[in-house]
Amino acid sequence: MAPPRTATPTSSARPPPGSGNDHARHAVTARLAELPCHSVRLGHDLAANADFLAKHLSG
């Protein structure tokens, strides 16, 4: 029986491949930080959820 595999340590300091350069990441982060934050709890009725989101997200 083979020994259990151990997890390879990862560094959170390095962004994932294909995530853009530092300037692009900071620009996106700044734009996202400007957006309002809202919590929404939707129910099980998909049609009602879609209507609610369309009404409130269409401006």
Q: What backbone phi and psi angles, to 5 degrees, belong to 31? A: -65, -40
The whole-number pLDDT of residue 18 equals 77
Average pLDDT of span 10-21: 71
Cα–Cα distance, 20 to 25 (Å, whole number): 6
Confidence label for 40 from pLDDT (cuts 50, 70 and 90): confident
- What's the average model confidence in pLDDT over 9-36? 80
Q: What is the pLDDT of residue 47?
A: 95
